[in-house]
Amino acid sequence: MNFLLDTHVWLWWNSEPSKLSQTTLAVIAEPENEVFLSSASVWEMAIKARIGKLPLPEPVDMYVRTRTQQDGIRELPILHSHAAAVETLPLLHNDPFDRLLIAQCWLEDLLLLTVDDKVLAYARNVIDARI
């Protein structure tokens, strides 16, 4: 199966895996699954690191590159079609990063692993990473 990790799920996978369910940990670790991290998540991390809301042990670029390579997590670039699809989403959530992740999941037929209740409200292609 193909999965997209919400930003916080990827961060917890790397720093606080106990915040994720055993099922989620197994899904991410399963070699048969293709697991992606969106460029939108990296963009979000870069903004939060710059304003001091996300302390990381190294610059975002290095932090992401080393950990995604180590874990075999694939990059999901942002395409024009992904950005444009945000317009078609129901207005259940105002966060632009989360809305872009949802659009990517819908267009690329990925399952989004998240713990964000506002994202889970979209129901389609989202899975609660706490279960």
Instruction: Report pTM.
Output: 0.95
Summarised one tens digit per residue, pLDDT across range 16-74 is 999 999 999 999 999 999 999 999 999 999 999 999 999 999 999 999 999 999 999 99
CATH fold for domain 2-128: Rossmann fold (3.40.50)
Helix (H) or strand (E) holding 18: none
The first and second tokens of residue 128, run together, are 């609660």
Indicate if the pLDDT at residue 123 is higher than 90: no
| pLDDT number for residue 120 | 94
Q: What's the rounded mean pLDDT across residues 107-123?
A: 95
- Domain map (residue ranges) of the chain: 2-128
Residue count (the chain): 131
Helix (H) or strand (E) holding 54: none
| pLDDT number for residue 20 | 97
Calculate what percentage of the chain has a pLDDT beyond 90: 97
